[in-house]
Homo-oligomer: A and B are copies of this chain.
């Protein structure tokens, strides 16, 4: 907006979906009810690794109340192609093998067959009658073990991609890449202090409360209708269509409200299976995962092994950084190590960098993104080393970071040169925050800080805006609303149109009713779909100027629009007045907007945390937590703060308690919300937030994504705080009581 402050941007309106969410009216995945609908149940592997010798479904098929049984034999074997999963790509053959195992099961919980029946209980009972003959194979469960030549092979056909080229190297390494800046040996030679450490993290889950649920109808005319809880109607459409070997437009996906996702509801698990069952029985089929399946069979985040070596001069300048990082991708390759590599050193301007990264398959569930995928594990490693370096140099950890902070023109490890970014501003806001200066007294207490980065993605979005005769507008968008984006997108349209946010009626449409729009993920939605709404709103104004010109008999160029009023000379008309006269001036007005921006500079976040460690039990209590993040222009500060608080809380859980706990045979032993320890309100203090606003230079309003960077700093900040509290550095997540105690004991011994 040229010249002048915003009227809508920066305000805190009530969410458009507020009433439905608080009254229970909102319909989530499992709320779908269709005439004649039946229920599905998925039979899953009890083994982490086994060959399937034979599946006999005959007894299940004869069970009373059963309408259909499917196995991988019902899946097409059509052409392979790459599904774009935001966190990288996945060949459709692997996506198929994940929804129903064909020859081998690759993890405990891997889907083997599915039953549709008159009730969920009958379906489950019948599934137990399916006889599967397995030949158990030795599983490989650890990322470093999996990289050994003699390790059991998870995928027989996997060949390593090395430095961007497919090789003929068989094994469990999906990809080995390398980032090089400068000369790392020369850099270390210039260093006065060098720190090198190893770090390990284990799988954690996004922990959304709503389980996966999909309903499918394979209609008699060949069209497939899907209702599902998903982050992306169009990505679910593409994945489902390709797995079923259909053109994408033969599938119509209606996205339901989403009860938490955080990256875990991008891939499809149940949709193609429900569709196959529906094709067989001619009825709509709904499958909802039990909690156990959510843990065992959707995508957690990778466990990792990361080695970081950094050197700095006595004056505080980091001269070199070397990273060796290996990520478990679960049963199929993914690209999260690459994301970790982009982010791990991103807050710093380091002249000499060498990063080697490895994506490694293991016999665990196929991993999926979790809020800044790959970055949190990486920051845990790098920010611990940075903290140690600062300590060794006797510098304040924020001042040390500021001395090395990335800024416009700095190069990221992957070579990208930053545009205007807010790293320095975030660090300065941390330094100047009362929390950082507040006294922290008492034994076993410590304060830690850390930085985090997420690069945010752009990608394609579509919007249409139509004008109502009462002066309001309807906004149709393809972006699933996970966190209030109906409102942040509507606000951007309202700003252009001179309306109040509640005068924009947003609709999250199905895939038949709006243009393609990429997944809600990568912190892209307020950025890219908001941009598309800006385009659509400007398209509306362009047309309405023509209408005003028609009524006033002037040239459209002579009509201007500002603050909701059209003017030409001394004539003026409000948006609402002109909206009422569209019929007589040529018919309704619809604006359209589509964009496909490339990602921009991303968002930096910092955390300041105070902890107290109980040396008797090893329990870490978070006393105070401050989250600082560069939002670019904060469209709706309430929504930004909500993201910062949510990401911080998840980061605290990841730091202190959450983990997949494995049996030696590769079975998850804590696959319930009783045993998988997510933080509760008692574990997390009120999260203080500081929004830093360094507008993103490409976006019309300066928006940056804000959904992810905030989860990145907490584990490292807490590790650094624990060190200040009790003098031991934990280099493994979660920093659960037993791990803290062991660290204390090993320091004492």
Contact = CB atoms under 8 A, between A and B. Distances in A.
A599 to B, nearest CB: 14
Contact of A583 (B252, B470, B474, B596): B596
A470 B466 CA distance: 27
A461 interface: yes
A364 B113 CA distance: 64
Interface string A463-474: 010111110101
B595 A587 contact: yes
A509 B516 contact: no
A472 B513 contact: no
Contacts of A468: 248-249, 516
A587 B249 contact: no
Interface stretch (A19-27, A656-664, A723-731): A19-27
- Most chain B Cβ neighbours within 10 Å, of A467, A507, A512: A512
Determine how many copies of this chain the complex contains: 2
Contacts of A33: 33, 35
Nearest to A592: B590
Contacts of A20: 219, 221
A215 interface: no
Among A20, A466, A467, the most chain B Cβ lie within 10 Å of the Cβ of: A466
Interface residues of A, number: 52
Given A35-B31, A590-B592, A505 B462 contact: no
Contacts of A556: none
A739 B670 CA distance: 85
Nearest to A506: B512
A532 B512 CA distance: 18
Interface in A513-530: 513-517
A462 B590 contact: yes
A589 B511 CA distance: 14
B515 A462 contact: no
Given A462-B588, A507-B513, A588-B594, 5 more contacts: A584-B596, A586-B595, A586-B596, A587-B594, A587-B595
A587 B528 CA distance: 11
A409 interface: no
Nearest to A19: B221
Interface in A108-140: none
A460 B583 CA distance: 7
A247 B472 contact: yes
Contacts of A505: 249, 252, 512
Given A472-B247, A583-B596, A23 B513 contact: no
Contact of A464 (B507, B511, B586, B592): B592
Contact of A249 (B249, B472, B514, B592): B472
A592 B594 contact: no
B220 A460 contact: no
Interface in A569-599: 583-584, 586-592, 594-596
Contact of A474 (B18, B249, B467, B596): B249
A503 B25 CA distance: 36
A703 interface: no
A494 interface: no
Contacts of A247: 470, 472
A587 B219 contact: no
Contacts of A204: none
A514 B20 CA distance: 22
A586 B594 contact: yes
Nearest to A465: B515
A25 B220 contact: yes
Contacts of A362: none
A293 B595 CA distance: 52
A249 B584 CA distance: 19
A592 B467 CA distance: 13
Best-surrounded residue of A35, A219, A514 (most CB of chain B within 10 A): A514
For the complex of A and B, the 5 pairs showing the least CB-CB separation, nearest first, are A587-B596, A19-B221, A466-B515, A515-B588, A249-B472
Interface string A225-254: 000000000000000000000011100100
A476 interface: yes
A517 B220 contact: no
A507 B514 CA distance: 10
A466 B19 contact: no
Interface in A640-678: none
A589 B593 CA distance: 8
Contacts of A472: 247, 249
A468 B253 CA distance: 13
Nearest to A238: B469
Interface in A9-39: 18-20, 23, 25, 27, 31, 33, 35
Contacts of A507: 512-513
Contacts of A517: 588
A25 to B, nearest CB: 7
Interface centre among A248, A462, A468, A590 (most CB of B within 10 A): A590
Interface string A184-199: 0000000000000000
Of A468, A505, A532, A583, which is in contact with the most chain B CB atoms at under 10 Å from its CB?
Answer: A468
A18 B221 contact: yes
Nearest to A252: B505
B590 A513 contact: no
6 contacts: A19-B220, A247-B470, A466-B514, A505-B512, A515-B589, A588-B594
Contacts of A460: 583, 587-588
Contacts of A589: 515, 594
A341 B516 CA distance: 50
**A249, A505, A511, A595: most-surrounded residue (chain B CB, <10 A):** A249
Interface in A475-515: 476, 503, 505, 507, 509, 511-515
Nearest to A476: B513
B248 A512 contact: no
A745 to B, nearest CB: 55
B464 A590 contact: yes
B515 A513 contact: no
A469 B512 contact: no
Contacts of A596: 583-584, 586-588
Contacts of A466: 462, 514-516
A586 B460 CA distance: 8
A512 B587 contact: no
A665 to B, nearest CB: 43
A515 B19 contact: no
Contacts of A23: 220
